[in-house]
Amino acid sequence: MIIISEQEFNQIFSKQLKAQLKLHEMTQSDLAKHLGVSTQSVTNWCKGAKTPRMDKVDAMCKLFNCKRSDLMEEKGPNIDTVPIESGYIIPVLGRVAAGYGKEAVEEVIGQIEISPAMAAKGDYFGLLIKGDSMIPTLYDGDTVIVERTDDAESGDLVIALVNGSDATCKRLQKYAEGIALIPQNPVYEPMRFTESEIDTTPVKILGKVIEMRRKF
- Report the 10 Å Cβ neighbour count for 199: 11
pLDDT band, very low/low/confident/very high, at 113 (cuts 50, 70, 90): confident
**Residue-wise pLDDT tens digits, 179-201:** 999 999 999 999 999 999 999 98
Q: Determine the pLDDT at residue 196.
A: 94
In this structure, the answer to whether residues 95 and 65 fall within a common structural domain is no
- 80, part of any domain: no
- 186, part of any domain: yes
With a threshold of 0.85, does the pTM exceed it? no
Number of domains in the chain: 2
- 140, part of any domain: yes
In this structure, the answer to whether residues 161 and 108 fall within a common structural domain is yes
The residue segments making up the domain with residue 99 are: 88-213
Cα dihedral across residues 134, 140, 146, 148: positive or negative: positive
Active site residues: 133, 170
Q: Are the beta carbons of 130 and 96 closer than 8 angstroms? A: no
The DSSP string of 111-148 is EEEE-HHHHTTS-EEEEE--SSTTTTTS-TT-EEEEEE
In this structure, the answer to whether residues 54 and 136 fall within a common structural domain is no
Provide the pairing of β-strand 124-128 with 143-148. antiparallel
